[in-house]
Amino acid sequence: MLYIKELRSGLNIFKALGSEIRIEILELLSKHQSLNLNDIATHLNLTNGAITMHIKKLEECGLIEITSAVGKHGTQKICYLNEEKLMVDLRSINTENLYEVEIKVGHYSGYAASPTCGLATKDSIIGDFDDPRYFADPARIDSQMIWLFEGYLEYRIPNYLKPNQAFKEIQFSMELSSEAPGHCNNYPSDIYFYVNGMEIGYWTSPGDFGDVRGVFNPEWWPPHLNQYGMLKLIRINNEGSFIDGCRISNITLSDIGLHHKSDIILRLEVGEKSKNKRGMTIYGKHFGNYSQDLLARVLYDDQPI
């Protein structure tokens, strides 16, 4: 998901979307997952030259990704939809009262895992498939993809607030999917989210996606296994808890009771509460379709002393 927190920072995207042809290109890529330039030109009954300019504008603003592939008729440019959702925050955010940290998906502080499960760095599998003992391996810090059928991962988020500052909103962004043996696009799984032990809600992952190769997957990753997830944005403020702008609970920051000395521990879990219990996969920046690890963002207000 592409999150625009200031209107002016999204001008290039708004301009790119101000064209019916470019909207049609995005609709085609949403339907077909990936197409080369010839395919797009044929679908829209336009020349390759006319399409190239529109593709360039969509690529420049990050809405699509282009890779080169060798085909029967030489090198082809393959277009992918780089963002599934676009979220625009119309409220003014004071960027001075904000900090964010990116945490490697392997930098968890607690875990439980049941097979099917495993970890992979950008270079290799850690240990053996389906052996939870390797979740304690020191090399797990470099993991770029982690999967488990049942269990949880906990991440400790740094709290940099000072005594005269108060939490306004916490955001977490990550790429997630279910966990199937191999892969299965229709494989719903309920993934629950907790902050400091308090349940803030859940999201049902539609599946463990493997129909096309993940954009950032290393070459050695097998094509018959899961390939990518969906980028989710969790927000907790004084109005409630939300995923991609949709309310998932009425739990607020006040309910969690955060202050400048608080620990901040995020837990992702598929467990007893999950009616659809079909696992969880979390992707780092070297796997999946999004070049990011677990991103945590804290917005805060200055308070009078």
- 69-87 per-position pLDDT tens digit: 776 667 788 888 877 667 6
pLDDT the model gives residue 6: 65
| Domain boundary, last residue among 18, 49, 81 | 81
- Give the Å distances, CA to CA, from 78 to 51, 71, 182: 13, 11, 25
Residue 244 falls inside a structural domain: yes
Domain check: are 173 and 55 in the same one?
no
Decide if pLDDT at 93 tops 60: no
Residue 72 falls inside a structural domain: yes
pLDDT the model gives residue 131: 97
CATH number reported for the structural domain that contains residue 179 in this entry: 2.60.120.260
pLDDT digits (tens, 9 = 90+) for 149-189: 999 999 999 999 999 999 999 999 999 999 999 999 999 99
Domain check: are 194 and 217 in the same one?
yes
Beta bridge partners of 79: 35, 66
Residue 148, class by beta-carbon neighbours within 10 Å (0-12 exposed, 13-18 middle, 19+ buried)? buried
Domain check: are 69 and 148 in the same one?
no
Domain check: are 77 and 107 in the same one?
no
Domain check: are 167 and 41 in the same one?
no
| Residue 65 belongs to domain spanning | 2-81
pLDDT the model gives residue 8: 64
Domain check: are 72 and 101 in the same one?
no
| Domain boundary, last residue among 33, 49, 81 | 81
| Domain boundary, last residue among 81, 104, 139 | 81
Domain check: are 143 and 196 in the same one?
yes
pLDDT digits (tens, 9 = 90+) for 141-159: 999 999 999 999 999 999 9
97/33: higher pLDDT: 97
Decide if pLDDT at 190 tops 60: yes
pLDDT the model gives residue 300: 96
Domain check: are 186 and 278 in the same one?
yes
Domain check: are 108 and 29 in the same one?
no
pLDDT band at 205 (very low <50, low <70, confident <90, very high): very high
Residue 87 falls inside a structural domain: no
**Total number of domains constituting the chain:** 2
Any idea how long the chain is?
305
CATH number reported for the structural domain that contains residue 76 in this entry: 1.10.10.10
Domain check: are 63 and 120 in the same one?
no
Residue 133 falls inside a structural domain: yes
Domain check: are 43 and 101 in the same one?
no
Domain check: are 191 and 109 in the same one?
yes
- Say how far residue 130 (Cα) sits from the centre of its chain: 24
Q: DSSP letter string over 50-119?
A: HHHHHHHHHHHTTSEEEEEEEETTEEEEEEEE--S-EEE--S---GGGEEEEEE-TT--SEEEEEEEEEE
Task: Give the pLDDT mean for 214-234.
Answer: 94
Q: What is the mean pLDDT of the chain?
A: 91
3-state secondary structure of 186: coil
Residue 67 falls inside a structural domain: yes
Residue 201 falls inside a structural domain: yes
Decide if pLDDT at 9 tops 80: no
Residue 170 falls inside a structural domain: yes
Residue 88 falls inside a structural domain: no
